[in-house]
Amino acid sequence: MRRTKFKLRLTFLIFLITNLYVMSQETEKNQFSFKWENGFKVESLDKKFKLKFGGRIHLDHAYFNQNEELDASYGSLESTTGTEFRRLRFFISGTIYQNVEFKLNVDFAGGEARLKDAYIGVKNIPIVGRIRVGHIKEPLRFDALSSSKDITFLERAIPADFANERNNGILLMNDFLNNKLSVQTGIFRNSDDFGNDKGADHDIAWTSRITTLAINNVEKEQLLHIGASYSYRKPDREEYDISVRPKSHLSRKYITTGNIPGVQTVQIINLEAAYSNGPFTVQGEYLNSAVEQKTDISSETFNFKNYYAQVSYFLTKEHRPFTNSYSTFGRLKPKNNVFNGSKGIGAWEVALRYTNTDLNSGSISGGEQEDITLGLNWYLNPATRIMLNQVWTHFPGAGNLNIFEVRFQIDF
């Protein structure tokens, strides 16, 4: 009941704000402009106050098929098809008095409200740059920092199970040398889906990232991004586990470390690189999670790994735009929207990715998983996309799984 009331209140709030600003345009004394710019935006004439609001809908359908060997290893599939709203989000973000920023982003997928972003920030601070406090993304993993509305495939390459994408904390970030060098660092505490961490106690994580734009030629549409991040995590409950799905959120999880007791620290190192030249983009990352365990009977350090490499190409010759180091690649704008004149075919992108996740280390045999994903994306306009993914998953010594999945996506 409380969650239902929360949903209704949030929906009403967004509806109220929308109508108030629309109606405000009818007065001659109004000092704000209201416009559509890949989302609804309200802005004061002096640029000191800005507001953006909207949401996104991701609807997925998937089909599964596994061989007899995988049936024997993990049991047969309970269902060969699946459907879900992967994301159902509303958000409000903005700037007030020029230097104070905020964002509230809530997801209702799965029938429950989950907090995604909820932060207050101050920007344009000398030397420091920008500070954000609240429920925010940790500066860890290029693919995780990319918005879900702009990622190339339906699912990200590096599983969120290695470390939370978002946590409660404080984040400092700044750009130097004309944005060629970027640094982000923060202190975080594990939090639940509502951003609360009442039970976190001394659970803490320090996460930092440094990146460089070695090449950033906008006119020639060339970019080379290189970066590295490190996260030192100390779980208060001295427990840690990783469980990974094939590259479909509708799939079951096959490989897992199980719950590891006696964990003293977790240290994650991530290396990242991305290169784009016109319609061509290549991207890759390598992640290692070192888990230090100490119990009354043993002391051991486990190393769990994930890496991927992917390439993509726009058949219609678009170029993937780069927003900044923390937000990574941004919104793709087709040269010709669908039904926009005789040339309105939208943008077409083909992509291929290889992913490897290894959860075998020392006395833990969590399993290994290899995914090859072939993707086809059709951008009808900057806000609407249809995605097709064919995934071939191989579990060495255990069998194979095939997945075909489609997503209908819009953000507004």
Can you tell me the distance from the alpha carbon of 139 to that of 208, in angstroms, rounded to the nearest whole number?
A: 6
- The CATH number assigned to the domain holding 84 equals 2.40.160.10
pTM for this predicted structure: 0.89
Residue 16 resides in a domain: no
Cβ neighbours, 10 Å, residue 42: 21
Residue 221: both structure tokens together: 């549409």
The answer to whether residue 297 sits within a structural domain is yes
pLDDT tens digits, residue range 172-203? 999 999 889 999 999 998 766 655 654 445 67
In a domain, 4, yes or no: no
Q: How many domains does the chain have?
A: 1
Domain span at residue 101 reads: 31-411
Q: Is residue 18 part of a domain?
A: no
In whole angstroms, what is the distance from residue 188 CA to residue 202 CA?
A: 11
Q: Alpha-carbon distance 212 to 107, whole Å?
A: 32
**Do the domain assignments include residue 26?**
no
Question: pLDDT (tens digit, 9 = 90+) per residue, 277-319?
Answer: 999 999 999 999 999 999 877 789 999 999 999 999 999 999 9
Confirm whether 289 is domain-assigned. yes
Backbone φ and ψ of 198, nearest 5° = -60, -25
Write out pLDDT tens, residues 352-380.
Answer: 999 999 999 999 999 999 999 999 999 99
Neighbouring residues of 131: CB distance < 8 A, sequence distance ≥ 6:
121, 122, 125, 170, 171, 172
pLDDT at 45: 86
The answer to the question of residue 392 being in a domain is yes
Q: How far apart are CA 247 and CA 401, in angstroms?
A: 11
Taking 50 as the threshold, does the pLDDT of residue 27 lie above it? Answer: no
In a domain, 12, yes or no: no
